[in-house]
């Protein structure tokens, strides 16, 4: 989301579905052989559901603007920028961009890039596309079928069922088909492999591709997936009401440091290294009651209602039956900028914003609907009935994807305050149960200690998921260890600008965790091993 994947203060990127009707998985029409001799000659080319409006070369170092709140960034290499509009049905208009490396620099592969939040331009996909082109990938991304003033806005969905389908599942599928058509027209060599990478809503989009259109991509990276969408946004509303339903329950952001200091004091050293990061926060049984004021209120304690709010955030919302409805959030980074302050406890709570926009424009079709009127027992079933098939992306049956050799690499930051990290573990384990033999060979999950939402946070959080996936899909062994780096500026490090590495740490394939060997620098990944939890 660009708030389920946003640039947060002092951080970098943040929020950076079901069975299929027969006509949704019909075989694509044959792809033509090469038909153009230059980038510009792609302009006007017809596509199955639209046409290319513009195609022009971009010089290395040229500033590339993609709209929205993202600043223009310099191109990492020369590429052909292709802009198309797809109109598969009345009421649908999907803007797609394809970035094509020079012919002698193309590695023969395609990367589809996921969007964030509700989408609204290609700014978020462009961050992934920019890095991919530098590595020789052709890449493609879309605006998800609509424009808006922000990716936290959903007015575009009011009375627009086809736009909701575009956002939910159609835009990325058609973008993949268009990209393959253009690649066949532009390059002499055939496409060797196609991958998709998305985080947050992009992670939901990634799983939607694997579940609904398994022929689109050979291998997929799904980071912090926003699934199942209807349950998640209902939980967002419940979290917002827990924090703001009563004025006395709200936790001032100034008090978040109390929670962080106390949780780290209790649990940071449990992994053998005092580094400000809890490697597996599930083992930290932190109860904020230790911070409760003896009487009244003060800056160095929490009132009883504030303690209950913190407990509710850690626990997650409960259903009307008293059972867990959705996962809660982990301790250890409560006061890090762009975590609880942005998503949960700040006056502009992103959970409140996303829930309000979704319920207003995709569920109740009422621009005046207020989150104070949210009722979990009533509104979640309604949301599920109306939009579950379009948006949820939580089907664990990936037999179609695995049957063609598909690989799925998932990751999630333990300090994510947007989407609960245990949500990814739950889906991963459901996939294992639904497809035991295939899933063991074809899926991996990496939980990232100290990472916030898609990037940033106190732990090492920049890593080459695409490189690991490519090596795996091309015949290498399944990844069991990926090296992550913490930079003094994570955004600059992620984008490839000069930044100072501060620490490296291995990410271990779930359920393994990284453990220091007992000697050597604790800032060097070489001094850590991946072991079973509890060892």
Active site residues: 200, 416, 453
Question: Which residues, 6 or more positions from 33, have their beta carbon under 8 angstroms from its beta carbon?
Answer: 184, 185
Question: Which residues, 6 or more positions from 302, have their beta carbon under 8 angstroms from its beta carbon?
Answer: 251, 255, 258, 259, 288, 291, 292, 293, 310
Asked if residue 408 lies in contact with residue 443, where contact means CB atoms within 8 angstroms, the answer is: yes
Q: How many CB atoms lie within 10 A of CB 71?
A: 10
Asked if residue 3 lies in contact with residue 201, where contact means CB atoms within 8 angstroms, the answer is: no
Tokens 């379009």 correspond to 390
Strands of the sheet with 407-413, listed across from one edge: 46-47, 50-58, 79-86, 94-101, 138-142, 109-113, 193-199, 219-223, 407-413, 443-448
Query: Whose CA is closest to 290, among 269, 265, 313?
Result: 265
Cα dihedral sign, 440-444-450-451: negative
Alpha carbon separation from 318 to 238, 310, 381, 413 (Å, rounded): 9, 14, 15, 23
Asked if residue 307 lies in contact with residue 288, where contact means CB atoms within 8 angstroms, the answer is: yes
Query: Whose CA is closest to 229, among 259, 208, 252?
Result: 208
Question: How would you classify the pairing of strands 46-47 and 50-58?
Answer: antiparallel
Asked if residue 184 lies in contact with residue 34, where contact means CB atoms within 8 angstroms, the answer is: yes
Where in 41-134 does DSSP place strands (E)?
A: 46-47, 50-58, 63-64, 73-74, 79-86, 94-101, 109-113
H-state helical runs in 228-278: 229-244, 256-267
Question: Which residues, 6 or more positions from 261, have their beta carbon under 8 angstroms from its beta carbon?
Answer: none
Question: How would you classify the pairing of strands 443-448 and 407-413?
Answer: parallel
């Amino acid at each position: 989301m660009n708030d389920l994947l946003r640039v947060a203060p002092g951080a970098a990127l943040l929020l950076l579905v079901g069975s299929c009707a027969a006509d949704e998985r019909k075989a694509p029409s044959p792809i033509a052989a090469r038909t153009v001799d230059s980038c510009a000659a792609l302009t006007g080319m017809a596509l199955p559901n639209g046409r290319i409006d513009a195609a022009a070369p971009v010089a290395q170092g040229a500033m590339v603007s993609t709209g929205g709140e993202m600043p223009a960034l310099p191109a990492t290499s020369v590429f052909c920028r292709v802009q198309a509009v797809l109109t598969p049905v009345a009421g649908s208009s999907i803007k797609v961009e394809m970035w094509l490396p020079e012919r002698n620099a193309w590695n023969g592969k395609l990367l589809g890039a996921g969007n964030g939040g509700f989408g609204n331009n290609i700014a978020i996909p462009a961050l992934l596309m920019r890095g991919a082109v530098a590595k020789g990938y052709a890449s493609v991304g879309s605006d998800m079928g609509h424009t808006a003033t922000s990716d936290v806005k959903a007015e575009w969905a009011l009375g627009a069922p086809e736009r909701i389908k575009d956002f939910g599942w159609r835009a990325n599928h058609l973008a993949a088909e268009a990209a393959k058509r253009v690649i066949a027209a532009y390059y002499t060599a055939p496409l060797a492999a196609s991958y998709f990478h998305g985080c947050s809503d992009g992670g939901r989009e990634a799983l939607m591709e694997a579940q609904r259109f398994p022929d689109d991509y050979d291998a997929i990276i799904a980071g912090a997936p926003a699934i199942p969408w209807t349950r998640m946004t209902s939980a967002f509303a419940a979290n917002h009401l827990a924090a703001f339903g009563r004025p006395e329950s709200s936790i001032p952001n100034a008090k978040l440091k109390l929670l962080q200091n106390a949780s780290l004091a209790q649990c940071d050293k449990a992994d053998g290294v005092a580094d400000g990061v809890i490697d597996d926060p599930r083992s930290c049984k932190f109860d904020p009651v230790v911070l409760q004021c003896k009487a009244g209120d003060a800056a160095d304690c929490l009132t009883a209602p504030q303690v209950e709010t913190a407990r509710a955030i850690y626990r997650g919302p409960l259903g009307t039956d008293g059972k867990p409805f959705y996962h809660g959030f982990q301790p250890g980074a409560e006061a890090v900028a762009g975590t609880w302050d942005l998503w949960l406890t700040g006056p502009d709570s992103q959970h409140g914003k996303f829930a309000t926009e979704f319920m207003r424009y995709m569920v109740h079709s009422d621009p005046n609907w207020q989150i104070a009127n949210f009722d979990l027992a009533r509104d979640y079933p309604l949301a599920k009935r109306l939009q579950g098939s379009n948006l949820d992306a939580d089907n664990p049956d990936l037999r179609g994807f695995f049957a063609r050799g598909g690989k799925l690499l998932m990751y999630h930051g333990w300090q994510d305050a947007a989407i609960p990290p245990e949500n990814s573990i739950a889906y991963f384990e459901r996939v294992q149960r639904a497809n035991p033999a295939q899933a063991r060979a074809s899926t991996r999950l990496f939980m990232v200690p100290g990472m916030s939402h898609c990037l940033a946070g106190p732990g090492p959080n920049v890593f080459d998921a695409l490189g690991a996936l490519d090596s795996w899909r091309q015949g290498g062994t399944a990844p069991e260890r990926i090296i992550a780096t913490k930079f003094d500026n994570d955004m600059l490090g992620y984008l490839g600008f000069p930044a100072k590495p501060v620490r490296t740490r291995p990410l271990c394939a779930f359920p393994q965790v990284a453990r220091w060997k007992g000697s050597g620098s604790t800032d060097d990944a070489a001094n850590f091993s991946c072991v079973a939890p509890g060892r």
